[in-house]
Structure 1
Amino acid sequence: MSEQQRLSEAVHLILDKEGSTAAAYPPDWENRGRVEYFYRRNTILVRTKDKDRVGRTLRSILGPSVQRTDRSEGAADDDDSLPVIAGIVKFEWSDHDLGTPEVLELLDAEFGVGTATPNHGLSLCPNSGHPCPATEPAVVPTRSYSPVPPVSDGICCGTHGWDGDGVVVGVVDGGLIEEAPRMWPWMAGVTGDPEIPIDAATGLIKPYAGHGTFVAGCVRCVAPRAAVQVERAEELAGLAYEDEIIARMVDVLNCGADVIVCEFDGITRLHLPMLTFSTFYDDILRHVNVVVVAPAGNDTSRLPTYPAAYSWVVGVGALSSNGDQRADFSNYGGWVDVYAPGVDLVNAYAVGDYTTIHEHPQQTRHFDGIANWSGTSFSAPLVAGMIAARMSATGENAPQASNALLRFALSQAIPGTGPALLPHQVCGAVMRDG
């Protein structure tokens, strides 16, 4: 299948979904062969300090249909109609000749670029040009069904305890297949929002289904005793909006997460940081000892994706199957903090039949609850698991453990790729520091 076909099929899965509120920019993305960013139609975000002046201008442009929502003091925590972060205001309007991109250009001219931003859509399979995975789920060629990488025994440097015991890892993704913790011993005790992987209309496994389950399994292979909680962000064929993602990140933080794996990532308008994530860090995250880990993306591109490109996020690229170079699909550049295995990983997945959407001729594959899958989405939870495993063994908090592992990764940087970590090296930093 050509790249143009892959792009078209992946984007139309999002835009044509019943009830979809998503749009792609530029509007002629199909002719250009590229999507610069996804966004929620007729919606913008601004900081609280800018709400009055932006609101006046919006109403002068769009009329009285403009609605403003913000989280005031005393607002109910479970009111999903409000932005989850105090300090962010959401403006929405009914159908108008001017859409979000046109309105943002007018606001840029009046108030400066970045005063107002879209409510970005981020993908579970982040790419700079389209939301396609590095590969589609493949059948494991043997019925021995052992995960790759294998489950750690918790012993490193001759000592026990490198297992994540007492550490909480929160995963923000598409939810958890409820049967998986009962099917596979390394998944036992993993909890989360339930995901229904089967499409009731077709009887087939949905596109992108099982992603959160596979990610949780990757964490558990490296940190087998960590508590793993999977939060489901409402998503459209693998896409979720930034305010919904932040809401789920706050949820796992409130559940005591030490490490948060944010599996949604993507390109932003003008490559600028997102207001919701920046405010989340400024107002909450920088005051607590929590680390956020995110995939760098799967498009062999230098373009930064967010949240992976934030300085306060550990952005993870993928290594090849032999671990000695960057995977051919992985994004790269100075904004990527570390590379970890991301090719032909094996972990928990759905049970049922899946028909490929990006491979031609199409195939229908039967899965018994486990799959072979590739992507930076799966490199990221391996790094999160390494942080958790180190925390349980050393007593360090998450930032301390993360910094030690990144220093070790830099000490063995691969020329032409960058800092690298392999799961069995979880105590390498202790050996090097000693």
Structure 2
Amino acid sequence: MDLQSVGESLIRPGQILTDRSALSVAARWTQAVADADGVCVIHLSPGVDPIEITMDLREHGFRASPNHVLAGQPLFWGGPASRPFPSPPVPYKPGRARSPVVVGLLDTGIAEHPWWADSDWYEEQPRDDAELLEGRQAGHGTFLAGLLLRQAPGAGLRVWRVLDGDGVGDEAGVVRALNRLRERPPPILNLSFGCHTFDDRPPPLLDDALRALPDTVTVACAGNTATDRPFWPAALPDVVGVAAVDATQERRAPFSAYGSWVNACARGEWLASSFLERDEFAGYAVWSGTSFATALVAGAIADAAKDLPAKEAAGRVLDPETTRQIPDLGVLIRSSL
């Protein structure tokens, strides 16, 4: 992987993100530019520090960021969130009444599975966004899809692959995908990945891309970092940041991030869902992580949105006046899954 560690965050070496307005200013440091879907990736000349250039551009009023690496959760941290385990088949019956709600899922893609083999939404799914079958996080998107559908029976999914089989993507790829969603934005968006930033400030282009979807409820994982350090995009003010509680649904899962920026929590330990058919797995797995707590919260909002606008549904599901709160974990969304 082409990664560089900076201030306990990961970036693509020699790259910064900006828009076209900054290209002339950055020209003296630029070796090449990749311009697509509203994002310019500047490939810097050898020896040029992307952090220094980012700070210089920001001081001159430009929106700029190093190209942060975003990772699905689980990935780099140990404990029960580190890998999936084989599971016997999980009972599931698709909802009889089709819901008008569509949940957008940006992740590692989606694989064929009996749970959605006959679904209209899967037939319309581009095969370019199929799940990659190799890598430490292969099956992550398929696992999330199952949790979303069990939590919101009858809902449809739209899946885009922005992470590779190891669960790794970058800010440029995610922002470009989000910008493409503007033509047909989903009412609910599940982002079970994220990053720390080099300065612990919000990544500006990612923030801009999500703000450009004003009618979409974005739900993102708080991360498996076991710290209160802000994790992005979950810590953005317009995003529902989700932490994980343990299997008792009473206490924080030991791997979960926490903090005042977290809005909600759900079970994130030893959940069972759809998975790949490979090696010892027969289409089902048990896995843990804030990734999967996020899907339970997004699914609960999607289920409530059958009869309400998504924003109003989110307000009801996350109402602190009617639902238990856990300090530094937000509103507790219980689940029977």
TM over 0.5: yes
- 2:213 corresponds to 1:285: yes
- The corresponding residue for 2:26 is 55
- The corresponding residue for 1:264 is 193
* CA distance 1:113–1:326, shift in 2 (3 Å): farther
- The corresponding residue for 2:252 is 326
- The corresponding residue for 1:239 is 168
Note the C-alpha offset of 1:341.
Answer: 1.1
Count of equivalent residues = 331
1:46–1:275: 8 Å Cα contact kept in structure 2? no
Higher helix share goes to which structure? 1
Letter in structure 1 aligned against 2:48:
L
The equivalences for 1:4-403 within 5 A come to 15=1, 21-25=2-6, 36-52=8-24, 54-55=25-26, 59=28, 62=29, 65-68=30-33, 81-85=34-38, 88-94=39-45, 96-104=46-54, 107=56, 111=59, 116-125=64-73, 130=76, 134-140=81-87, 143=88, 145-146=89-90, 165-177=99-111, 179-180=112-113, 183-184=114-115, 188-189=119-120, 191=122, 192=125, 193-197=129-133, 199=134, 206-235=135-164, 237-282=166-211, 284-286=212-214, 289-353=215-279, 366-392=280-306, 395-403=307-315
State the distance in 2 between where 1:208 and 1:184 align: 20
* CA distance 1:176–1:236, shift in 2 (3 Å): closer
Letter in structure 2 aligned against 1:412:
R
* CA distance 1:151–1:314, shift in 2 (3 Å): farther
Note the C-alpha offset of 1:251.
Answer: 4.1
Note the C-alpha offset of 1:379.
Answer: 0.7
* Identical pairs, percent: 29
2:65–2:205: 8 Å Cα contact kept in structure 1? no
Letter in structure 2 aligned against 1:421:
I
2:132–2:164: 8 Å Cα contact kept in structure 1? no
State the distance in 1 between where 2:172 and 2:85 align: 32
State the distance in 2 between where 1:339 and 1:348 align: 22
Q: Give CA deviations for 1:279-298 in whole Å, capped at 9, x if unaligned.
A: 2134x223xx2111111011
Note the C-alpha offset of 1:40.
Answer: 1.6
Letter in structure 2 aligned against 1:331:
A
Note the C-alpha offset of 1:411.
Answer: 3.5
User: Is the partner of 1:307 in helix, strand or coil?
Assistant: coil
* CA distance 1:210–1:257, shift in 2 (3 Å): same
Note the C-alpha offset of 1:263.
Answer: 2.1
Note the C-alpha offset of 1:125.
Answer: 1.9
User: Is the partner of 1:249 in helix, strand or coil?
Assistant: helix
Letter in structure 2 aligned against 1:351:
E
State the distance in 2 between where 1:236 and 1:99 align: 29
Note the C-alpha offset of 1:135.
Answer: 2.9
Note the C-alpha offset of 1:254.
Answer: 3.6
Note the C-alpha offset of 1:186.
Answer: 9.2
2:16–2:65: 8 Å Cα contact kept in structure 1? yes
Note the C-alpha offset of 1:233.
Answer: 1.0
1:169–1:227: 8 Å Cα contact kept in structure 2? yes
Note the C-alpha offset of 1:196.
Answer: 3.2
Q: Give CA deviations for 1:25-45 in whole Å, capped at 9, x if unaligned.
A: 25xxxxxxxxx1111221112
1:173–1:211: 8 Å Cα contact kept in structure 2? yes
1:45–1:275: 8 Å Cα contact kept in structure 2? no
- The corresponding residue for 1:203 is none
- Taking structure 2 as the reference length, the TM-score comes to 0.87
State the distance in 2 between where 1:252 and 1:187 align: 25
State the distance in 2 between where 1:153 and 1:38 align: 41
Runs of at least 5 residues in structure 2 that lack an aligned partner in the other structure: none
Higher strand share goes to which structure? 2
Q: Give CA deviations for 1:230-289 in whole Å, capped at 9, x if unaligned.
A: 11015372111112112223445544411111122110110111122122134x223xx2
State the distance in 1 between where 2:261 and 2:326 align: 16
Letter in structure 2 aligned against 1:90:
V
2:3–2:13: 8 Å Cα contact kept in structure 1? yes
State the distance in 1 between where 2:216 and 2:53 align: 36
State the distance in 2 between where 1:175 and 1:332 align: 27
State the distance in 2 between where 1:262 and 1:111 align: 30
User: Is the partner of 1:280 in helix, strand or coil?
Assistant: helix
- Taking structure 1 as the reference length, the TM-score comes to 0.69
User: Is the partner of 2:333 in helix, strand or coil?
Assistant: coil
State the distance in 2 between where 1:251 and 1:165 align: 24
State the distance in 1 between where 2:203 and 2:37 align: 14
User: Is the partner of 1:378 in helix, strand or coil?
Assistant: helix
State the distance in 1 between where 2:270 and 2:61 align: 42
Letter in structure 1 aligned against 2:13:
R
- 2:337 corresponds to 1:422: no
User: Is the partner of 1:121 in helix, strand or coil?
Assistant: strand
